[in-house]
Structure 1
């Protein structure tokens, strides 16, 4: 298959691009996301795709959307930040665009992008975890994306690491996302600043603010990269939680490579060093098993778009048969 379109649907913007079989983006367009309207969101996606189709010989469209996507890669069962509930998005857009449309979870799409064309292009077994405001990710085993019986596997950020811990947006308590994400980084930074910590006050000064309420994850990351002790400690703590979670994931999936992406990964060695140390410390039977390698993601914000476009080239899995 030749050219396909990848569309990354976020809570505020819809990024679309024409992608060739080598993972190169040859044309782009963008729309705002009318997140409170099912019809308006579908129309915006369709409009972006139609613009690209008008100027390129496109064979299929792949859409990466946050939320649960059915095993046939067509229906968005639930989207936390959009108004989709059991929305037949794939069939709806295919009817309008007159070409095949597949829908995939956005984190799975990003993981596949890194597997097919990025940091994991030379391996067959990988775990990709994206550390941003929350935590997403995907798993590839034997060169196939792990989707589960119902299409909703590999919600890596919602693996429970602290029973009875912080309440998560998913409704459970103690999810990895509550300890190893940008949201957790900000929560801990604000808590230190509000406690009257002199070190945290110095961090706020480095960030150019005085009110802890204004603190953001990118601010802490930038301060850490400038060497601020409090910010460095916050990043190291986040890396420790991340490494502990990844040790559990490695026990389950035995990947060749673990790829770390997302906005917080901009801290690079500040994050990777503590994550790797915690991973090595917590990996079961660590002296008697091969250890996964670590790598930073390579495709940045384009991973989801590129991955969705490539998944559009691949046939949907056969329906699971009940026994």
Structure 2
């Protein structure tokens, strides 16, 4: 029973045919993500149609970077997705001639890691996806917890520094401003400006080029001292954030995903130590296992496809 998972992000739309065991049979991509709703509909239909013509697929799952209503038929809003209060499930089900289900992209990634990845078998699992910002998902006994209005848990927008760095959400001092791919670059730029230490990153900064999280990770891997300090600070923030997560949710497994997870070997041990130091009752309670994700950038598509397989019987 093959299904299609479509990951609709801020930069591209990717679709894959997924086997029930989570393996990817075929994958296609379109970029950039369209900025008009009708064109996005066309793009999804084209990608899915091409895959369905070559493979016997039975349902389609959408993983969307935006607010999904509790009924999971409507996309209310997405900063980088043009759908606004759009009943996309009904519209695309009719257009594709296949059952369509909808999920938030972080929830889809969490489902994938729970079903076939690093959180398999966990009773309470949290996915923390570190990328441009922080995405998160909470699964209890395998079911996604989404809150009363479908937007939980927004872990990236916990305030950790009162009056701190401005966040696109409108607040200041959010965790994702200190613990994300974007934050790695920002922290490096601040440290370069305040220091005369040699760094592989300094030349780009002096040319007024933005320093990216990927740049910092590469420099740290090459032994750059300043980049290493930035990564160590990142690990401290991650550990502190995970301690907050554990105090509220008490998970048995935390999975670190997103693009920054590719460099997990640089910071994960430090984050584990800070987490153990910060969590309430540390030393007198069982701690969550903190594991890197295993599905990488495919998690959203895999989770959406597996979700479609599980829910297709009540769709259409």
- Aligned residue in 2 for 1:133: 132
Deviations 1:276-300 (A, max 9, x none): 1110111001122110011111111
Please report how far the alpha carbon of residue 126 of structure 1 lies from its aligned counterpart in structure 2 after TM superposition.
0.9
TM-score by length of 2: 0.94
Asked if the contact 1:5–1:49 (Cα under 8 Å) also holds between the matched residues in 2, the reply is yes
Please report how far the alpha carbon of residue 208 of structure 1 lies from its aligned counterpart in structure 2 after TM superposition.
7.0
Asked if the contact 2:101–2:311 (Cα under 8 Å) also holds between the matched residues in 1, the reply is no
TM-score by length of 1: 0.92
How far apart, in 1, do the equivalents of 2:147 and 2:103 lie? Answer: 13
- Aligned residue in 2 for 1:230: 226
How far apart, in 1, do the equivalents of 2:164 and 2:7 lie? Answer: 32
- Aligned residue in 1 for 2:196: 198
Deviations 1:128-152 (A, max 9, x none): 1111121112111111111122211
Asked if the contact 2:189–2:205 (Cα under 8 Å) also holds between the matched residues in 1, the reply is no
How far apart, in 1, do the equivalents of 2:229 and 2:263 lie? Answer: 12
Asked if the contact 1:11–1:35 (Cα under 8 Å) also holds between the matched residues in 2, the reply is no
How far apart, in 2, do the equivalents of 1:267 and 1:51 lie? Answer: 34
* Root mean square deviation, CA, Å: 1.8
Q: 1:302 aligns with which of 294, 298, 303?
A: 298
Asked if the contact 2:259–2:297 (Cα under 8 Å) also holds between the matched residues in 1, the reply is no
Q: Gaps (5+ residues) in structure 1?
A: 319-323
Please report how far the alpha carbon of residue 54 of structure 1 lies from its aligned counterpart in structure 2 after TM superposition.
1.4
Q: Counterparts of 1:167-182 in structure 2 under 5 Å?
A: 167-182=166-181
Asked if the contact 1:35–1:81 (Cα under 8 Å) also holds between the matched residues in 2, the reply is no
Q: Counterparts of 1:60-79 in structure 2 under 5 Å?
A: 60-79=59-78
Q: Give yes or no for the alignment of 1:253 onto 2:252.
A: no
Q: 2:284 aligns with which of 266, 280, 288?
A: 288
Q: Gaps (5+ residues) in structure 2?
A: none
Deviations 1:264-321 (A, max 9, x none): 22222321122111101110011221100111111111011000101112339x9xxx
Q: Secondary structure at the match of 1:165?
A: coil
- Aligned residue in 1 for 2:79: 80
Q: 2:207 aligns with which of 191, 208, 211?
A: 211
Q: Secondary structure at the match of 1:6?
A: strand
- Aligned residue in 2 for 1:321: none
The more displaced of 152-161 and 74-83 is: 152-161
Q: Secondary structure at the match of 2:147?
A: coil
- Aligned residue in 2 for 1:164: 163
Asked if the contact 2:127–2:136 (Cα under 8 Å) also holds between the matched residues in 1, the reply is yes
How far apart, in 2, do the equivalents of 1:8 and 1:179 lie? Answer: 26
- Aligned residue in 2 for 1:35: 34
Please report how far the alpha carbon of residue 34 of structure 1 lies from its aligned counterpart in structure 2 after TM superposition.
4.2
- Aligned residue in 2 for 1:145: 144
- Aligned residue in 1 for 2:97: 98
How far apart, in 2, do the equivalents of 1:266 and 1:198 lie? Answer: 29
Asked if the contact 1:190–1:213 (Cα under 8 Å) also holds between the matched residues in 2, the reply is no
Deviations 1:184-241 (A, max 9, x none): 111111122233x222x42326x87752534211010011111111111101101111
Asked if the contact 2:179–2:234 (Cα under 8 Å) also holds between the matched residues in 1, the reply is yes
